[in-house]
Amino acid sequence: MRLSKREVIAGFVLCIFAVCSAAAFSFAEETAFDKAAGAYAKKDFNTAAKYFREYVEKKPDPRAYYLLGYSLYKLKRHSEAVKYFREAFVLDPDLTPVPAK
C-alpha cells in the first residue's frame, strides 16, 4: 500500500504537533513543591509557605511539612510552625531535616 503525498504530509504535521504539545506540557508542569522550594531558596517565606501548604494538601510529604513549618518559623508564626513540624515527624519519625535545594 502506497501513501499519497498528501497523507504523508498530514502524518508528518500531526507528528510534529504531537511532539510540540508533549514538550510544552512537560516544561509547563512545575509542581507546587518546585515553586515552594524556589521561594524558600530566595528566602521568600510567605510564598514558600503558600506553595508548601498547597503541596501537602495533595501529597502528605514529611519533608514538605517540615519545610512549611520552617518557613512559618522564619515568619515568626511559631505556634503554627509547631503544628507542621509535628505532622512531619508523625509521618516520618526518622526524618532528618535537610535544607531545600
**Tens-binned pLDDT, residue by residue, of the chain (101 aa):** 676 776 656 544 554 555 554 444 444 457 899 999 999 999 999 999 999 999 999 999 999 999 999 999 999 999 999 999 999 999 999 888 765 55
pLDDT at position 56: 95
To the question of pTM greater than 0.85 for the whole model, the response is no
Report whether 65 contacts 89 (CB < 8 A).
no
Q: How many domains is the chain built from?
A: 2
- Same domain, residue pair 57 and 86: yes
Q: Is residue 101 part of a domain?
A: no
- Same domain, residue pair 11 and 58: no
- Same domain, residue pair 37 and 62: yes
DSSP annotation string for 13-29: HHHHHHHHHHHHHHHH-
